[in-house]
Every structure is written in C-alpha cells, then in structure tokens.
Amino acid sequence: MASSSASADVKPELSSSSSSSSSAASAAAAAPSRPVLFWGSGSPPAWRVCAVLLEKGVDFDGRRVQFDSGFLKTPEFLALNPRGLVPSLIDGDLVLYESLAILHYLEDKYPAVRLIPKEPAAKARCLMRMQEANNASSAAGEVVYYVRRTRPESINFPYLRCKFAVLAEELKLWESYLAGAEYLAGPGQGVSLADFAFFPNLAYMVRLGLELEPNYPNLKAYFCRMCARKSILASWPPHWLKSHGLPCLSSSILPPVEGATREACEAVAASAGAGSVPPTDVPCSRMNTADRCPVSARDVVAAAARGEESPAKC
Ligand SMILES: N[C@@H](CCC(=O)N[C@@H](CS)C(=O)NCC(=O)O)C(=O)O
C-alpha cells in the first residue's frame, strides 16, 4: 500500500492501496510519525476527515481502501477498527474511528487553524450542526437505499414520495440554517467543523441527483462556496470525477401521477441506468445539477493542485 503526504495547498495523491492485509498492521506497528488515514472514495464520513486534515495543513499518510477488496474486514484491520469501516485514523499508538470524533481530535491536536468558534453560542451551534449532519445523511440514505434495493417494478411510489418528503423537510432545515449565514456556525462565523461534517453529505446528495434549484437557494450558494475551498476540491472523491452517480435523489424519478404503471417504473430504472456510462469529463454542472457552469470538475481540481483560485463560479 503506497502512501503519500498531503497539504492544504496541493491535491494529495490519496490514491494508494492495493489494500494488502498486512498494511494496517504495519501502519500500526510502525507507529508512524504522521497520522495515517484509511479512507475510501465516495465515503462522506471519510471525506470529512480528509478535508479537515487538508484544511489544517496536516501532513498525513492517506491510504485508499477499495470497498470491495475485503480489506476492511481482515483480522488485521478489524484489530484496529472492530467496526471495519473508514475513516480510521492512526496517530502513533492511537487508533480512532467515527468521523466526528476524529474531527474533534484533529481540532485539539492541530489548533493552528481553528475550526470550532471560541464564542460560546457559535461554538454550541457548530457542535449542534455537526451532530445534526448525520440526520441529513440518514434522510438521503432512506431514499437512496430504497431505490437501489427495490426492483423497478416493485417500487411503491407513494411510499417513495413519503421518503422524498422527509428528505425535503430535512433540507428545509439546513436551508434555514444558512439564511443570512455563509457557514453553518451562524452569521458572521467562518467555516467550521460543522461545514466539514455536513458538506460531504450534501455533495453526496447532489451527486445522486438532488436539485438544489429552485427550492434551496441558500444551500445552492453554500454548495458553491464550499466547492471553492482548496481542501474540499483536493479531497473530492476521485471516482466521482470520473462517473455520474445514479440519480436516485432526482425528483424526476417520481412519476407525475401516483400509482405508476409498470412502463413508468421501467422508465425510472432506465433513467437511473443513464449514469452507468462514464463521461470523459464531468462538467461542474453535473456535480451541481444546476446546468449553469461550463467549468469542468477536472479543471477545478487541476487549478486547486496548482494552488490557483477555483475557476468554478457556479
Ligand atoms: N459513523 C461512521 C460511519 C462510517 C461508515 O459507515 N463508513 C462506511 C463508508 S461511508 C464504510 O466504511 N463502509 C465499509 C463497509 O461497510 O464495509 C463515521 O462517521 O465514521
């Protein structure tokens, strides 16, 4: 498993890992002087940690795990993290898992770049939003897993509509949190751990077809604001830059009339399959679903790697 360093200014070669089972053990045994992060492409919790490490300019050793390799369930890895999940962070003798706990650890260990506000009310809001971020991923997951796991002809559209409605309620909350505020710790506050906890969930939803326009203008502006951060761009899940996600969260998968026919369900399945052809270049607009921005994601990431300002103005 190759390793690499990363800083806030460059795109890390976080690609590593042929995931040999001895790697986890050796990572621990070597008690490395810089933290080792096991992560997986497309995992929002792992993205939280990658992004915060980059935001804080921490030199770390990122090891990408392929989810289908079985590596996370090897005895060696389970000895480190009995849950067998990413993210897992090894820092000397300390092994940590659970992304939010890792974010707190990083905040204490690397205080030079502060990501929890000092002022008590803003701090409390930041901590509150961090925890709430998991509600957003649960509400999205309810839709995504139902669509993915149900045969198209068996999809119960009234039931699916309910799940969409719950997700919409959840998103309305986040929309309201951003009223008059650029970031989630509240008006006048800068970026904080709350943003790094929430944004990967939002980006996951957008990748899966969530339309931020016209219903969520604050979230849309926030999405673009966060997209312009080098730490976010540099840690963007690599495989998301190469392929579309299945558009499970696009409201277009709901037929206009309830009680869908079999043909309508098959059309839904076919449209979900539209994401299976990887494009050579993913326009930013496909990440945003806004169809406004002509800049490609590849350009955005390349600019970040050169230390330039993001060309994405979408
Ligand atoms: N609550 C955990 C969730 C971690 C988690 O679910 N990780 C997933 C990826 S998103 C994973 O490692 N899945 C691998 C597997 O289930 O084998 C956290 O916040 O870190």
Instruction: Say yes or no: CB of residue 312 within 6 Å of ligand 1.
Output: no
- What is the predicted pLDDT for the residue at 187? 97
Distance in angstroms (rounded) separating the CA atoms of residues 197 and 131: 8
Burial pattern 126-150, b for ≥16 Cβ within 10 A else e, equals bbebbebbbebbebbbbbbebbeee
Please list, in sequence order, all residues whose beta carbon lies within 8 angstroms of the beta carbon of residue 228, skipping any fewer than 6 positions away: 309, 310, 312
Q: In what order do the strands lie in the sheet with 94-97?
A: 61-64, 36-39, 88-91, 94-97
Number of Cβ within a 10 Å radius of residue 51 = 26
Instruction: Say yes or no: CB of residue 45 within 6 Å of ligand 1.
Output: yes
Could you tell which of 37, 39, 43, 77 is best to mutate to test the pocket of ligand 1, judged by most ligand atoms within 8 Å of the CB?
43
- What is the predicted pLDDT for the residue at 105? 98
Could you tell me if 85 and 97 are in contact, meaning their C-beta atoms sit under 8 angstroms apart?
Answer: yes
- What is the predicted pLDDT for the residue at 252? 83
Strand partners, 285: none
Residue 214 Cα to ligand 1 midpoint, Å, equals 32
Residue 154 Cα to ligand 1 midpoint, Å, equals 28
Distance of CA 165 to the CA centre of its chain: 22
Pairing relationship of beta strands 88-91 and 36-39 according to DSSP bridges: antiparallel
Distance in angstroms (rounded) separating the CA atoms of residues 99 and 191: 18
- Domains in the chain with CATH codes: 21-109 (3.40.30.10), 120-305 (1.20.1050.10)
98 burial type by CB count under 10 A (0-12 exposed, 13-18 middle, 19+ buried): middle
> Which among 233, 198, 245 has a CA at the least distance from the CA of 218?
198
H or E element: which one contains 36?
strand 36-39
Per-residue pLDDT of the chain (314 residues; tens, 9 = 90+): 233 333 322 223 333 333 333 455 555 555 458 999 999 999 999 999 999 999 999 999 999 999 999 999 999 999 999 999 999 999 999 999 999 999 999 999 999 999 999 999 999 999 999 999 999 999 999 999 988 888 877 888 888 888 999 999 999 999 999 999 999 999 999 999 999 999 999 999 999 999 999 999 999 999 999 999 999 999 999 999 888 788 889 888 887 655 545 455 455 545 544 332 222 233 333 333 333 233 344 444 455 455 554 443 32
Distance in angstroms (rounded) separating the CA atoms of residues 184 and 200: 14
Residue 87 Cα to ligand 1 midpoint, Å, equals 7
Could you tell me if 122 and 189 are in contact, meaning their C-beta atoms sit under 8 angstroms apart?
Answer: yes
- What is the predicted pLDDT for the residue at 243? 81
H or E element: which one contains 219?
helix 217-227
- What is the predicted pLDDT for the residue at 87? 98
Could you tell which of 69, 85, 99 is best to mutate to test the pocket of ligand 1, judged by most ligand atoms within 8 Å of the CB?
85
